[in-house]
Homo-oligomer: A and B are copies of this chain.
Amino acid sequence: MHFSKTTEYAIRVLSYLHRYSSTSHSVNVLHQELNLPYKYLTKMMTELVKKGLVTASRGREGGLSLAKNADEIHLCDILEAIGEPLESERCILGFEKCDASNPCALHDQWAPPKAMIEAMLTNTTLASLLHDKETKL
């Protein structure tokens, strides 16, 4: 009942890119500032570039920055880019088909928390994360 490490990393990196969006940042900087494994980060960022969430520029003064406005990037977009999509149709007990007409034993009990998680992931944007206070990334 938690995010994958990769998802944690992606959210933190993209939040950082948004918070300090006046310039681009190299993988090395992200590695040091966020204390994430360098090599793993390069792979992940390459993936986020391919998925269109991040733009990369090479050479001196190059680096990474958000490819869209922060209010256009929802948490669910990040999960999807990482390969951990919402799976809103996925059954909590692992059944192939599970809905109100043919529910698993946990279907009804799981519905409210599930709806709340999905609402949070679809409504929360990068921009909305940093409004009130300085938070750690």
Q: Say if the beta carbon of A29 comes within 8 Å of chain B.
A: no
Give chain B nearest CB distance to A98 CB in angstroms.
8
Contact: A136 with B104, CB < 8 Å?
Answer: yes
Q: Are B94 and A5 in contact (CB under 8 A)?
A: yes
> Are A84 and B1 in contact, with the CB atoms below 8 A?
yes
* Interface contact A113-B120, CB-CB below 8 Å: yes
**A48 CB, nearest partner CB in chain B, Å:** 17
Partner of A113, one of B109, B113, B128: B113
Interface size on A, residues (CB 8 A): 39
**Alpha-carbon gap, A96 to B16, bound state (A):** 19
| A38 CB–B CB distance under 8 Å | no
A62 at the interface (CB under 8 A from B): no
Known: A1-B84, A2-B90, A93-B11. A112 touches B106 (CB 8 A): no
CB distance from A99 to the nearest CB of B (A): 11
A116 to B113, CA, bound (A): 5
Contact yes or no, B130 A105, CB < 8 A: yes
